[in-house]
Amino acid sequence: MDYDNVNMTGMDGMPEYNGSYNDFNQQPPEVAAQEYLNMMNAQRPYSDYGMDNMSVGVMSQNVQNMNMPIDPPQENAMNEDMKNFLAEGYLMGPDCFGTASQVYARQLMEYINDEYRDYLYYTILYRRSTSANARRIFRNIAADELKHSRRFASAYFLITGKRYLPKRSTVNPVIVPTSYNQALRDRYMAESKDAVKYRQFASSTTDRCLKRMAMDTSNDERSHAQEILALIQRM
């Protein structure tokens, strides 16, 4: 499988992901360190360099591993996304996406695939539905599920150093009942169970960043269940 170039195809109007992770580990250490320092001292957003939050985090970890002194990033050098990322506590360290969290690798892989399959499920419901309100709900939930999959994939990469994003061909087939009412029932049950699953994971992990990520996901799944319940009440 080619993990460097991944294509997540969305439906009409749905979010799509097309891209690759920059592998900074292929650079000489001094080059990676200098690039990171240049980024921190620049007065431009990271997007100007064709980079995302995760790539910058990897560079930061590489520099920390070399025990090179670096100045803290200047706030005016960060774009809004990076400010939010740091504010939410997603900053790599011993208790945040650290090597000790490799014990959660299998669970993260499961979450990545499950959330991607949920994304596919909702894209099918979106296409089948004739209600404008239902289509809007399915579209928004599908976007959330894809976001969850990518978020867990980012955590998996930062913890293990392995890149993985699912494709339709790499996950178990998604089977949606022909009965619309049954599909809604299945989704309500699945979203409710996922909300509990992620909350339990959050309470069991010692990784504070995974804990925050799991709680955020649990809250999203709970909201999804409530939205599906509203659709059921209108049947």
The domains found in the chain, sorted by start residue, are: 21-87 (no CATH), 99-233 (1.20.1260.10)
Q: Up-side HSE of residue 2: CA atoms within 13 Å toward CB?
A: 8
pTM of the model: 0.64
CA atoms of 161 and 208, how far apart (whole Å): 19
**Would you tell me how many other CB atoms lie within 10 Å of the CB of residue 59?**
22
5-37 per-position pLDDT tens digit: 333 344 444 443 333 334 434 444 444 445 544
Those residues with Cβ within 8 angstroms of residue 158's Cβ, 6 or more apart along the chain or in another chain: 54, 57, 58, 61, 92, 97
**pLDDT (0 to 100) of residue 138:** 96
Helix (H) or strand (E) holding 7: strand 6-8
Residue 146 pLDDT > 80: yes
Q: Are 72 and 99 in contact (CB under 8 A)?
A: no
The one-letter amino acid at 215? M
Mean pLDDT lowest among 42-46, 126-130, 137-141, 155-159: 42-46
78-121 pLDDT per residue, tens: 345 445 555 555 666 678 888 899 999 999 999 999 999 999 99
Residue-wise pLDDT for 147-193, tens only, equals: 999 999 888 988 898 888 888 888 888 999 999 999 999 999 999 99
- pLDDT of 88 reads 59
Interatomic CA distance for residues 85 and 167, integer angstroms: 26
pLDDT tens string 179-234: 999 999 999 999 999 999 999 999 999 998 999 999 999 999 999 999 999 999 99
